[in-house]
Structure 1
Amino acid sequence: MSESSQHLFSDRVDLMDNPKANRVGFVSRLARRQTRQKYGLALVEGPQAVRELIRFQPSAIRDLYVDLEMASGTYRELVLAAREVTDFVHPCTRQVVDHMSSDAQGIVAVAELEKLPFHPVEQLQLDAGMAVLLARVQDPGNAGTMVRLADAFGAQAVLASAGTADLSSPKVLRSAVGSSFHLPTYTGQFSDLVVPLKKAGFKILGTSGEGAISFDDLIDAATLGTDPELAPVLEGPLVWVFGNEAKGLAPDEAELCDYLVSIPMYGQAESLNVASAAAVVLSGTARIRHRQ
């Protein structure tokens, strides 16, 4: 290592320059759910996700691996922040980092799952706010984007029913761009997630193309007082439920919802992508909940 970069790293680590090393192979295998579960570790890829991990969940960091050339340039401040919380920041050749992950962008971290905000349904506990429930949303890109949307529009938690993409997977974490480390997620059977919240006074709003109530109805009720029953719904404790990309909500899921809500469309599109639907209703709901 050059003198300009050597001081960035602890004396306890050496330059990693062998892409066939066992450690490199192990980190790359964390892309597999089975490996993550066996060792209780997650793989965090890319600068923004790593930055938010360092900022919000520093105790979870096991190791951080960074392209040596980028460590003393583009990622210098990121490396310095990481060194504040761990000695195990490893300088690597770019080839090594790329073997760990093709989506690394020169930097990856390994984090302990038990120290990240991923929880089973048994630990579910929410205050009177807004939550987002992914009901068998299977595409990791959609799931991660919806975690990011939940974070952006003020949800206090994300819930994921059985059959949803693993929220600790690298693809989900990458799509969430760090939001996975900002708010808790809870995973379990759909009814186990919904029923306790219904009993606690949360309104369960399922999105459906065949919903009897339109999202415009809810907005009008909240802003114009057009329907006394619907008027308080968007401002009170609620859970927005988004169903499977191909099939939407299953009958048993729809039955547990207090309202099925459709999104009015005025063009020729047949439907909205589930993440697009989430963006529409979460943005509108946030506007109502945070109006002055």
Structure 2
Amino acid sequence: MNHLYIGSPQNDKVKHWASLLVKKNRDREGQYIIEGVHLIQEAVKSGATVLQMVYDDERGMPAELEDIALTGNLKAEWIRASRAVMGKCTDTDTPPPVFAVLRKPDMLMDKLYGSTSLVIALDGVRDPGNVGTIIRSADAAGADAVVLGQGCVDLYNPKTVRSTMGSLFHLPIIQGDLAEMLPKARAAGAKAIGTSLQADHSCYSYDWRQPTWLLMGSESEGLSPEVRALVSESVIIPMEGGAESLNVAMATTVLLFEALRQRKFV
């Protein structure tokens, strides 16, 4: 396959790709980078807009992507690159064998305010690993969408992207202002549910079959005052051992799978 070769990290394309490691440049360009074979396969399967596919020339094109390259169905530019280029454009200690440049999708709001919606809304959750895990859990539990509110880590931060393990391509993920979105959700009939150690009843007695926005805040500060003021009801996760609390990703996962149990298995 006659793919363009780029060896110099000073090449203009390379400088552009490397700039996408910074949020303000991702926002300005409407583009982001994904790394590794699995994420690229998930992106292609989902119909994401792939602009460039860049692979390590020394290692060759990963075998798992050869069919994609040969069919020609993907309208991406394929590029062979030196190890130095691969290292400059990715933020892992060991450069991956391949990365891709994607266009950010336009997110439709239609599922957010649906009659049976289950939406996870995060407020000030800054850790990429926690946000990625929550997106994976929301995907696994069949949630309709994830909303990243004010103060959350950028969805397209490379660490967040990696930690979603491809789930960011499986459901709508919207970055927005919860103070504006929650009143609309409540007006459409959804309950805004938070968690509290002082809650009157457990997560197992709440009816998760009704339209629900599950609000989760940062572990250190919880929900912001503006968002907490919009909570309809709070629940508690009962715990038997000596742990004071669960981390935000684990707590969200417990609640999501109780919602799945009630919605599908009761």
* Distance change in 2, residues 1:76/1:213 (3 Å): same
Q: CA deviation at 1:245?
A: 2.3
Q: Are residues 1:112 and 2:130 paired?
A: no
Q: Are residues 1:96 and 2:85 paired?
A: yes
TM-score, structure 1 normalization: 0.82
Q: CA deviation at 1:87?
A: 4.5
For residues 47-74 of structure 1, the C-alpha deviation after alignment (integer angstroms, 9 at most, x for no partner) is: 222111111134x1111111235444xx
What SS does the aligned partner of 2:21 have?
Answer: coil
- What pairs with 1:1-292 in structure 2 (closer than 5 Å)? 7=1, 11=2, 13-58=3-48, 60-72=49-61, 75-82=62-69, 83-103=72-92, 104-113=95-104, 116-118=105-107, 125-218=113-206, 233-291=207-265
Verify the 8 A CA contact 2:43 2:166 in the aligned structure 1: yes
Q: Among the aligned pairs, what percent are the same residue?
A: 30
What SS does the aligned partner of 1:86 have?
Answer: coil
Q: CA deviation at 1:41?
A: 0.9
TM-score, structure 2 normalization: 0.89
Amino acid of the structure 1 residue aligned with 2:221:
K
Amino acid of the structure 2 residue aligned with 1:248:
G
* Distance change in 2, residues 1:24/1:148 (3 Å): same
Verify the 8 A CA contact 1:161 1:193 in the aligned structure 2: no
What SS does the aligned partner of 2:5 have?
Answer: coil
Verify the 8 A CA contact 2:21 2:89 in the aligned structure 1: no
For residues 106-164 of structure 1, the C-alpha deviation after alignment (integer angstroms, 9 at most, x for no partner) is: 21111112xx2546x79955452211101111112211221111111101111121111
**C-alpha distance in structure 1 between counterparts of 2:22 and 2:212, whole Å:** 34
* Distance change in 2, residues 1:87/1:35 (3 Å): closer
Verify the 8 A CA contact 1:64 1:107 in the aligned structure 2: yes
Gaps of 5+ in 1: 1-6, 219-232
245-254 or 133-142: bigger deviation: 245-254
For residues 261-292 of structure 1, the C-alpha deviation after alignment (integer angstroms, 9 at most, x for no partner) is: 11112111121110111111111211111116
Aligned length: 262
**C-alpha distance in structure 2 between counterparts of 1:251 and 1:262, whole Å:** 19
**C-alpha distance in structure 1 between counterparts of 2:220 and 2:47, whole Å:** 34
Q: CA deviation at 1:24?
A: 1.9
Amino acid of the structure 2 residue aligned with 1:76:
A
Q: CA deviation at 1:195?
A: 1.0
Amino acid of the structure 2 residue aligned with 1:111:
L
What SS does the aligned partner of 2:147 have?
Answer: strand
Q: CA deviation at 1:210?
A: 3.0
Amino acid of the structure 1 residue aligned with 2:202:
S
What SS does the aligned partner of 1:234 have?
Answer: coil
Gaps of 5+ in 2: none
Amino acid of the structure 2 residue aligned with 1:94:
R
